[in-house]
Amino acid sequence: MKNKESNSVNASKVTFTELMLPSHSNFSGKIHGGYLLQLMDQIAFASASKYSGCYCVTASVDVVNFLNPIEIGELVTLKASVNYVGNSSMLVGIRVVSENIQTGKVKHCNSSYFTMVAKDKDGNTTKVPHLVLSNSEEIRRFFDALRRINQKKNLITLEEKFDHLSESSLELLKKHNVIVNMK
């Protein structure tokens, strides 16, 4: 049974592997990005719920880069763990790799971070256990998550202060492939 006051990163680790079928493909014959996002959301839910012992919802998804295409017939493995916890939120890191069954070649296809929020039985946010960091890799991932969270907060602050119609902002547009024609 989990200690409700704290929990280890290991308590959040989830891995699953799925064979990519033709029904998962897009018009170019590669695995559809939307399908991959669905799998990522499922593993983020599983990791956060396993860690917190609560139902969890997706609050945000940070940076989804599709690094390599995934082919029909490849095995896709998703690995997830909680990298950071707040009061009711958890940042779940996800790594996606594909493996060609015939050649054994493994490709890193995606890494992403999902912010998940724990909910109680009434649907209200609820406190999550403290995160116990037990090795240097877990500490590095925690600090990376903290850096991403702070960068996101700084960006929001900058966006709130940015005047897109100021003379200097409109001057910057001349360096880009746009025409400003306001009447």
List pLDDT tens digits, range 89-137.
Answer: 999 999 999 999 999 999 999 999 999 999 999 999 999 999 999 999 9
Domains and CATH numbers, the chain: 6-133 (3.10.129.10)
Confidence of residue 3 (pLDDT cuts 50, 70, 90): very low
| Choice between 143 and 170, residue whose per-residue pLDDT is larger | 143
Q: Comparing C-alpha atoms, which of 98, 96, 2, 87 is closest to residue 44? A: 96
pTM: 0.86
Q: How far apart are CA 166 and CA 180, in angstroms?
A: 13
Please report the pLDDT score of residue 108 as a whole number.
98
List pLDDT tens digits, range 21-75.
Answer: 999 999 999 999 999 999 999 999 999 999 999 999 999 998 898 999 999 999 9
Q: How far apart are CA 110 and CA 35, in angstroms?
A: 13
Place of tokens 């969890």: 56
- What tokens appear for 73 in the block? 């017939």
